[in-house]
Amino acid sequence: MKRLLIAGLIAVCTAPAMAEDQAVTYPFEGSFDDATFAVESAIVGRGLVIDYVSHTGAMLNRTGADVGSDVEIFAQADIFLFCSASLSRTVMEANPMNIAHCPYGIFVADQAGEILIGYREYPEGEMQQVETLLKEIVEEALE
């Protein structure tokens, strides 16, 4: 029982470090609004349609007190969700369970005055094509 408790504590304590390794982030020189405009423009400029913008930072700030927290995680944070019909077809023809990764997202976050643009990492294999697309979009937004 003691070993299970210790193993559980280790798992809980290391979970945040693992989560950090699941995202690729780039610093953005400019304001949050400039970063969101740059990301939106880079996505739309490729002929892709943004399905939804999740205002995650606003939700976290709005609900903090409701869940007993006064910690500001992000001053602002938005996630742009979109798909590429051709790329999605390619990766899902290779493995239909790649549906779990769609839609794709790029986030912009203001964390303590540092503006970050990023995306989640995807598994090796055909999903690396999606990660390449996300990297190209972010690099364009950073220009």
Position 18 in a domain: no
In whole angstroms, give the CA distance from residue 51 to residue 126: 23
pLDDT of residue 21: 73
Q: For residue 125, what are the domain limits? A: 23-142
pLDDT, tens digit (0-9, with 9 covering 90-100), for 110-119: 999 999 999 9
Whether this prediction's pTM lies above 0.75 is answered by yes
β partners of residue 119 = 24
Q: For the chain, count helices (H), then strands (E).
A: 5, 5
Which strands form 49-54's sheet, in the order they lie side by side? 23-27, 114-120, 104-111, 76-83, 49-54
pLDDT, tens digit (0-9, with 9 covering 90-100), for 16-69: 333 457 999 999 999 999 999 999 999 999 999 999 999 999 999 999 999 999
Position 50 in a domain: yes
Position 14 in a domain: no
Number of independent structural domains in the chain: 1
Position 126 in a domain: yes
pLDDT, tens digit (0-9, with 9 covering 90-100), for 91-107: 999 999 999 999 999 99
CB 139 within 8 A of CB 27: no
CATH number assigned to the domain comprising residue 78: 3.30.310.70
